Amino acid sequence: MHAMMGGQHGAALDALLYLPVVVVAFMMGVQNAADNGLGFARRFRDSYLRSPAPVKVAALLMSISATVHLAIAPGHSLEQPITALLLAFDGLALAAASLLALARPRFRPAAAILLAMGIVAYGFYVATGRENVDVVGVATKVVEFSAMVLVLIRSPGSLVYIVDKPAAFKTANQRR
């Protein structure tokens, strides 16, 4: 696959092969630490277990995006060192946001803002000719947009709140 995609984008796809191993190892480490009485691990585990499914999926999607950004950053370091630095920073910020979205619901809106800024930045880079549109870039932005929507779905501290059905649409059993 790396040879077909070539260069830094192939490296990004290769890096994604290791993400499941990292995620499973991390979660096993958290569980082990929680079982051994470490307070921060217990709090993270409990927060993770209480997080709604859409937030868990959003955290995974942010991890995917973080992996891609961190994998392609070194490929930009010679020709575009500022871009490489921004990619690395975004990758680290996305990794942190994925954990914070699970651990602290009040950080979910900030995660959505970070994701939106990444989408806008990619659009800016493409519009100004600093980056070419490619399948990995577009796919990563689709992943980020999906994560942004999921992290905002009716959860404590969210910016978007899906309104309940108006009273007129509720059945008689629901009104009691």
Q: Please write the tens of the pLDDT for every residue from 92-106.
A: 999 999 999 999 989
Quote the pTM value: 0.82
Helix (H) or strand (E) holding 141, with range, is helix 135-152
Q: Look at residue 3 and tell me whether its pLDDT is greater than 60.
A: no
Q: d(Cα 66, Cα 100) in Å, to the nearest integer?
A: 14
- Predicted confidence band at 74 (pLDDT cuts at 50, 70, 90)? very high
pLDDT the model gives residue 164: 42
Residue 166 confidence (pLDDT) above 50: no
Predicted pLDDT of residue 17: 94
Please name the amino acid found at residue 157. G
Distance CA 5, CA 174 (A): 54
- pLDDT, residue 153, reads 85
pLDDT at residue 10, rounded to an integer? 83
pLDDT of residue 1: 39
The Cα–Cα gap between 16 and 68 comes to: 7
Tens digits of residue pLDDT in 106-163: 999 999 999 999 999 999 999 999 989 999 999 999 999 999 999 988 655 544 544 4
pLDDT-derived band of residue 6, with 50, 70 and 90 as boundaries? Answer: low
Q: How far apart are alpha carbons 130 and 116 in whole angstroms?
A: 19
| Tokens matching residue 45 | 């585990």
Query: C-alpha distances in angstroms, 167 versus 69, 87, 154, 172?
Result: 46, 48, 19, 10
What was the pLDDT predicted at 155?
A: 54
